[in-house]
Structures are given as C-alpha cells and as structure tokens.
C-alpha cells in the first residue's frame, strides 16, 4: 500500500518561503533603519561640551561613584546635575 500523504515540513515550506521570508526581511530592514536613526553622532561638539559641563559640577567621589554604578549595571542618580534614574 502506497502512502500518498505529504510530509508536513514539505507541505508548509512553500508557505514559509512565500509569506514568512518577506516579512522577516522587512523586519530586518526596518530594524536596521531604526538602529541607524538612534545612533549617536560621533564627536559632536555640542555633546562633548555638555558632558564636560556636567562633569565639572561633580566631585571626584561622585565621578568614581558613577563609574561603579549600582549592581554593576545601572547608573547612580546624580540629581545635582539632573541625572535621574
């Protein structure tokens, strides 16, 4: 007796190729565009000036505290310079 049933993998591959692949490609392209739009501007004079102005208001102890962070993952709040958590 011959089995005429198609394998579920082979039967659904056409659907995956026609429908799912274009959707995944669209998501990948859209995700790249969003990431590129959110990337910081390297060596921006305005950002550098703001960073230097904020750091100049901190004591050495506060700067060291920022380096350590909270639980090695998060930044400490520094309300004196407007850095809130």
In the chain, where the domains are located: 7-39, 43-85
Q: What is the pLDDT of residue 53?
A: 93
Query: For the stretch 12-37, what's the b/e string if a residue is b when 16 or more beta carbons lie within 10 angstroms of its beta carbon?
Result: eeeeeeeeeeeeeeeeeeeeeeeeee
Q: Residue 73: what pLDDT?
A: 81
Structure pTM? 0.45
Report phi then psi at 51, rounded to 5: -60, -45
In sequence order, what are the residues at sequence separation of 6 or more whose Cβ sits closer than 8 angstroms to the Cβ of residue 75?
66, 69, 83, 85
- Alpha carbon distance 82, 51 (integer Å): 12
pLDDT in tens, the chain (85 residues): 555 555 555 555 666 566 667 777 766 666 655 555 676 667 788 888 998 999 999 999 999 888 888 887 888 889 989 888 7
Query: What is the reported pLDDT for 75?
Result: 85
């Amino acid at each position: 007796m011959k089995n005429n049933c198609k394998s579920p993998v082979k039967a659904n591959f056409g659907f995956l190729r026609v429908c799912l692949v274009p959707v995944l490609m669209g998501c990948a392209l859209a995700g790249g565009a969003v990431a590129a739009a959110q990337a910081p501007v390297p060596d921006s004079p305005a950002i550098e000036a703001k960073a230097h102005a904020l750091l100049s208001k901190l004591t050495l102890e506060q700067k060291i505290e920022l380096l350590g962070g909270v639980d090695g993952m998060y930044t400490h709040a520094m309300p004196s310079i407007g850095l809130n958590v």
